Amino acid sequence: MTEWVRPAGSSARDGFEVAVRPGEPEWHHSGLLVRTLLPGQSVEIDTGDCEYIVLPLSGSAEVIVDGEAVPLGGRADVFAGPTDLAYVPRNSTFAVVSAGGARIAFPHAKAAADHPFRRIGADEVETELRGAGVASRQVRNFGTPGVLDADSIIACEVITPAGNWSSYPPHKHDEHKPGKESELEEIYYFELQLSDDVPEGVKGNDPIGYQRVYGTDERPIDVLAEVRSGDVVLVPHGWHGPAMAPPGYDMYYLNVMAGPGTERQWLITDDPQHAWVRELWNSQHIDPRLPFGEAEPFGGEQS
């Protein structure tokens, strides 16, 4: 384990299985909490100087703000499809309760301006297919500019089918270059599952994936992590990618980004040694296994 790799449970505190917050050493802008709620349980959060997203990973829930209960339809799991979510501004107190039990992610980021509370339905989440061939992946842009009105947070979900690479070619966003690159630190939160073609006899296997982060000569960083469900990798700076899903294991990751810039932008620079990979996509097809999931209501008990 390095300071940038947090295996499942290693960052647990205050009742959260994952707790990464702005203000940790060398970590300034973005955060992520993950909490499992048993049936009937609730959690209350004071946002302070951060804006929050309430994102069900599995199950359904209600967000209670100013005495009003707002339902989030949820989903069976992160591979099943998009979910309803909610945005909660800074300087607020809110609660989340689940009648049937749920696992909830709370991406958050330092904010300098107020934006109104908002519920976003699963049908409003924009799904994008990126890359081609073995670099095909699916992106759910639920918390990106143009979908979510926010001050600083940028967030999305990525699904990479078994055997594919994503976050590829390697890229970075750690410098302010107007119109070219934005300065953002980034969180990767992983979940993995056995792919549909895995024989029944190996259903007990523990799926794994891999994540690479490497730096520049001026700002070195070196991460090559084997990741499992619940693991977190932090990217304070440097080139990151690929995120690799070995054969037999589908990979999901939740990205949370924020930075010091006054403009909420997600602009990247490809590693020039690998940028040519994009040219291959012109003669390749999107992986036919994509997209995963459908935007249908979750069939579990509603809160």
| Interatomic CA distance for residues 59 and 98, integer angstroms | 8
Query: Please, which residues bridge with residue 129 across strands?
Result: 138
Query: Please, which residues bridge with residue 155 across strands?
Result: 143, 256
> 5-282 is classed in which CATH architecture?
Sandwich (2.60)
Q: Under DSSP, is residue 134 helix (H, G, I), strand (E, B) or coil?
A: helix
pLDDT for the residue numbered 59: 98
Is the distance from CB of 251 to CB of 167 less than 8 angstroms? no
Is the distance from CB of 35 to CB of 55 less than 8 angstroms? no
Is the distance from CB of 185 to CB of 26 less than 8 angstroms? no
| Interatomic CA distance for residues 205 and 202, integer angstroms | 6
Is the distance from CB of 243 to CB of 160 less than 8 angstroms? yes
Is the distance from CB of 173 to CB of 267 less than 8 angstroms? yes
pLDDT for the residue numbered 199: 87
Is the distance from CB of 94 to CB of 65 less than 8 angstroms? yes
pLDDT for the residue numbered 143: 98
- Weakly modelled stretches of the chain, pLDDT under 70: 1-2, 203-204, 294-303
Q: 217: exposed, middle or buried (C-beta count within 10 Å: 0-12, 13-18, 19+)?
A: exposed
The bridge status of strand 239-244 relative to strand 249-258 is unpaired
Task: Please calculate the CA angle 91-267-295 and round it to the nearest 5 degrees.
Answer: 70
> Can the peptide bond before residue 161 be classed as cis, meaning omega within 30 degrees of 0?
no
Query: Please, which residues bridge with residue 64 across strands?
Result: 69, 95
pLDDT for the residue numbered 119: 98
Is the distance from CB of 135 to CB of 277 less than 8 angstroms? yes
Identity at 255, one-letter amino acid code = N
pLDDT for the residue numbered 297: 47
Question: Six-digit token pair at 183?
Answer: 């300065």
The residue count for the chain: 303
The bridge status of strand 137-143 relative to strand 93-97 is unpaired
pLDDT for the residue numbered 294: 63
Residue 81, CB-side half-sphere exposure with 13 Å CA sphere? 18
